[in-house]
Each structure stands twice: as structure tokens, then as C-alpha cells.
Copies of this chain bind each other. A is one copy, B any other.
Amino acid sequence: MISKQDYYAVIFTSTQTENVNGYGEMALKMEILAKQHVGFLGIDSVRNDVGITVSYWESLDAIKKWKQNSEHLLAQQKGKTYWYSWYNVRICKVEREYEFGNI
């Protein structure tokens, strides 16, 4: 995803509790929902002990609207109550990008 226009990244870093019942289904549901959202550009996600999910968006406004999506709000609430012991969200402007090889 090389874009000539400005775009934004949301870096979501997290650690989970021991109670991750229902998390997998919700994470999948949110990924499907995010992909349908206006301004969504892409997502990369990896988890071991720590999880890093980076989603890419056309604008700060698109990020704000995704954060306020009603189903996503419910997921965020469940995340704080049950699944995450800690998380950090960084909203970033992508200033430069380069790539090697072909995926």
C-alpha cells in the first residue's frame, strides 16, 4: 500500500488478560467491520506475548468515526472489561514510506 496522498496509521499495542473468551470472534468481527468503513486503507496484525495491530486510514476524521462506531464502541468496552490488561493507541501521520520485494 504505497499512497501518494497523506494517510494515517493507528498503532495499537496491547497485552491481554488470561480471560480471552470471545476475543477471537470479536477481533475478526471488528476487522471485517473496519474493512467496510469509509477511509479504511489496510491492516496488519500480529500477536505473541504482546500484540501489535496497525491500521491505515485516509484521514483523522475516518479514524475518529471508526472509533465512534457503535459496534466498535461495544467491542472497546468489552476489551477494557475482559480482554486487555494494557493497551496503547498512537495515531500517526505517515510521512514517508519505502518497500523491498514483493508480497
Contacts and interface: CB of A to CB of B under 8 A. Distances in A.
Contacts of A85: 101, 103
Stoichiometry, as copies per complex, reads 2
Contact of A93 (B45, B60, B93, B98): B93
Contacts of A47: 46, 48
A84 B100 contact: yes
Contact of A94 (B50, B91, B101): B91
Nearest to A46: B46
Contacts of A1: 88
A50 B90 CA distance: 21
Nearest to A100: B87
Interface of A: 1, 8-9, 11, 13, 15, 44-48, 50-52, 54, 60, 80, 84-103
8 contacts: A9-B90, A13-B44, A13-B54, A52-B52, A86-B100, A86-B101, A92-B92, A93-B93
